[in-house]
Structure 1
Amino acid sequence: MQKRLSLAGVSRMLLILIGIWIIWIIVVWSIQHRIMFPASMIDASRILTGAPSGVESIWLTDNGDRIESWFIPGKGVSAETPGPVVVFAHGNGELIDDNLDLTWLADLGTSVLLIEYRGYGRSTGSPSQRNLVSDTTRFVELLTQRPEVDPDRIGFMGRSIGCSVLAQVARSHPPNAMIMMVPPARLDSMAWRFGVPPFMVRSPFRTDLAVREFDSPLLLLPRDEDEIIPEGHAEIIDANASNSTIITLRGHHNWLDDSNEVKRQHKAIKAFLLSNGILKPDVDQP
């Protein structure tokens, strides 16, 4: 009798736990958008009123939404002397406003396009894998029509989820070179951190599969103490890519250990852009 009661008690407990887990899955399902794209949690003080001096604001419209990007012209670049451009996509907790330090690339002679996401900063709408990839693709297509841009010298550079966005874009618009900083191999695999199976993720961002569909030279820059996207993600991407290089930097997900590592990252990026024809060999040292 006691054994039967014990088994019945265990069964009831299992049913309760399963019920709690199902409720938890429903909760996470309903808020996963805010977890993956926490635009509402970004401090409003970080949002500038508009593009700073010397930076051009470019807008797309789609179904009533307005999506912004910032174009930073490269040093010495003009319609008469077109030059390269690096398309940059930031992480999910960032804004284009946070990445004006990429002017160091413009000083080397390459223009920079900073892509904003729907619902972030001054852009309206709701972000999703489909929207981010579609918007970024349109921005890339606009770039090729600009007289100051050499369409044969376009590079992509992403950080965190931005790597995933650009990898999807590269399937149809392969760049001349791509740089991925702290790249996730697949975001759906991170769902287990929240106790949710991967198939429940609506924006899986399968970078590991996307890199199989283009052969652009790829530089992977993971960090040895990244607590959010461990170095193993870059290794998975490397295993699936046809033309990739990994350089592991010392640091965490959101910062490098010191100024020497920042310089090391800049040096690696510059060398990669030079070796793949984005930059010319006669550019000044940063």
Structure 2
Amino acid sequence: MGIPSLYLNQRDIIYCANDPVGSRTQIDLPSDYGMSNYEQVKIVTKDKLNLDAYLIKKEEIGLYTNTKSRIGTTILFLHGNAGNMGHRLPIARILYNLFDCNILMLSYRGYGRSEGSPSEKGLKMDVDAAMEFLKQNPTTKNTKIVVYGQSIGGAVAIDTAYRYKEIDAMIVENTFTSLPDVVECMFPYVWFIRYFIKDSWASKNKIGSISVPMLFLSGRKDSLVPPKHMLELVTIARNNGGESKVTFKEFENGNHNDTCTQFGYFESIQSWWENLGL
């Protein structure tokens, strides 16, 4: 693919909403994975797009009083750049079983059955709408909120924790310092194309300002996003007063898309979660 084509088609390359085939129409349900207490909801963005989402509810939510410490926790699940939210339901099921928490799984604009086309500006508006939904919904409005993001979803999670004081903690997996940095790594001989990337997702400029507890999960054999990106983000966070807030876990054999299958992955999340009392 030539440089002009890369420039013109960059968002289709970055946001692979049609990969694998059927990702826009074939979306598994939480009930397919044993999570029957859920709602399929439509979330409307500021620019009037309808987003598809699943709100998976903790079973005993109605027994608790109206305080954050008693009512529990909600995970805002922010998926990677390919597929749809249904592809992440196996991960959601494990988190749900471990923590008995609510999970809001969001299909970004242009993904699954959500309307629109993805972009950095658009995905930020999607998160704005999701956060408003969490604030207003009776099930989630008084819960703690943990953002969990994989790959580009990690960049979305970092931006969300940077912009919203309502976020109580953050988990990111195999994410990058910025999109231009990734492009330069992928195309070192035409490094200058980094200056023509429309969406920056400059996490390295935001991570130092985030004060909530952060868990970084990094696959050492990531062949898409070099692991040095995660290490740089961790270093920036620690150097900006976040030493006690940062937990960094590496998985020796983890590649970009299979780190969540590595031994100790969910145990690391569980230990971190329990130490925080979420």
Q: Would you call these one fold, judging by a TM-score over 0.5?
A: yes
Post-superposition offset of 1:153: 1.6
The TM-score, its normalising length taken from structure 1, stands at: 0.81
* Residue from 55, 70, 84 that aligns with 2:73: 84
Q: Could you say which residue in structure 2 is the equivalent of 1:33?
A: 11
Q: Could you say which residue in structure 2 is the equivalent of 1:95?
A: 84
- The reply to whether residue 114 of structure 1 matches residue 110 of structure 2 is no
- The reply to whether residue 227 of structure 1 matches residue 230 of structure 2 is no
CA distance in 2, matches of 1:115, 1:109: 19
- The reply to whether residue 59 of structure 1 matches residue 39 of structure 2 is no
- The reply to whether residue 253 of structure 1 matches residue 259 of structure 2 is no
Post-superposition offset of 1:41: 3.2
Q: Contact 2:225–2:256 (CA<8 Å) still a contact in 1?
A: yes
Post-superposition offset of 1:105: 2.0
CA distance in 1, matches of 2:162, 2:23: 36
The 1:50/1:206 distance shift into structure 2, 3 A limit, reads same
State the SS of the aligned residue for 1:121. coil
Aligned positions of 1:36-47 closer than 5 A = 36-44=14-22, 47=25
The 1:49/1:236 distance shift into structure 2, 3 A limit, reads closer
Q: Contact 2:171–2:215 (CA<8 Å) still a contact in 1?
A: yes
* Residue from 83, 89, 95 that aligns with 1:105: 95
Runs of at least 5 residues in structure 1 that lack an aligned partner in the other structure: 1-22, 279-286
Residue identity (%): 24
Aligned positions of 1:258-277 closer than 5 A = 261-262=262-263, 264-277=264-277
Number of matched pairs: 253
State the SS of the aligned residue for 1:44. coil
CA distance in 2, matches of 1:231, 1:148: 37
Of 248-257 and 125-134, more deviation after overlay is shown by: 248-257
Post-superposition offset of 1:253: 0.8
* Residue from 184, 188, 195 that aligns with 2:176: 184
Runs of at least 5 residues in structure 2 that lack an aligned partner in the other structure: 66-70
RMSD across aligned positions (CA): 2.2
CA distance in 1, matches of 2:48, 2:84: 21
Q: Could you say which residue in structure 1 is the equivalent of 2:213?
A: 217
Q: Contact 1:176–1:276 (CA<8 Å) still a contact in 2?
A: no
Corresponding letter in the other structure for 1:66: N
Post-superposition offset of 1:77: 2.0
State the SS of the aligned residue for 1:26. helix
Corresponding letter in the other structure for 1:177: A
Post-superposition offset of 1:140: 1.7
State the SS of the aligned residue for 2:10. helix
- Larger Rg over CA atoms: 1
The 1:155/1:45 distance shift into structure 2, 3 A limit, reads closer
The TM-score, its normalising length taken from structure 2, stands at: 0.83
State the SS of the aligned residue for 2:224. coil
Q: Contact 2:43–2:50 (CA<8 Å) still a contact in 1?
A: yes
* Residue from 123, 126, 130 that aligns with 1:132: 123
Q: Could you say which residue in structure 1 is the equivalent of 2:150?
A: 159
State the SS of the aligned residue for 1:248. strand
Q: Contact 2:44–2:129 (CA<8 Å) still a contact in 1?
A: no
Post-superposition offset of 1:222: 0.6
